[in-house]
Every structure is written in C-alpha cells, then in structure tokens.
C-alpha cells in the first residue's frame, strides 16, 4: 500500500522501518516481511525503486 507519511495514523508502529526504496532497502523490506515482521518503507522521492528503477535490469557484479 502506498501512502504519505502525513496520512499514517500517529500511533502506528512497525517492527522494521526502511529508509529508501532502492534495491537494498526493498530487499531488506521483503526479507523482513518474509520473516513475519511488519515493515514500513519510507521513500523521499515520488518514485519507488531508487537507482535500480533506471538500470538495465541486469545484475552487474565487478570483481
């Protein structure tokens, strides 16, 4: 579910709060959710995905 911080109820709490929706943040969020944790991902831009949203959709692992 996507919403704004202002729209969240004041008393809402989460087990894990992730700052940033890039590959690193979303990976952390997914694994926390798989482990049964409630998760909030906060993204400062209007777009989900961070730099990976601009990538060529391949995994580049030098060295």
Interacting residues with ligand FAD (CB under 6 A)? 19-25, 42-45, 50-52, 54-56, 58-60
Q: Give whichever of 36 and 63 is closer to ligand FAD, judged by the CB atom.
A: 63
Q: CA 59 to CA 11: how far, in whole Å?
A: 39
Contact 16, 27 (CB under 8 A): no
**Residue 47, both tokens:** 């777009």
Closest approach of Cβ 47 to ligand FAD, in Å?
7
Which CB atom, from 3 or from 36, has the smaller least distance to ligand FAD?
Answer: 3
How far is C-alpha 33 from the chain's CA centre? Answer: 11
Q: How far is the CB of 49 from ligand FAD (least distance, A)?
A: 7
């Amino acid at each position: 579910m996507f919403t704004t911080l202002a729209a969240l109820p004041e008393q809402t709490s989460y087990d894990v709060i992730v700052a940033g929706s890039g590959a690193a943040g979303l990976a952390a969020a997914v694994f926390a959710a798989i482990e049964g944790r409630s998760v909030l991902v906060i993204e400062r831009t209007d777009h989900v995905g961070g730099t990976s949203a601009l990538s060529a959709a391949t995994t580049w692992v030098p060295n």
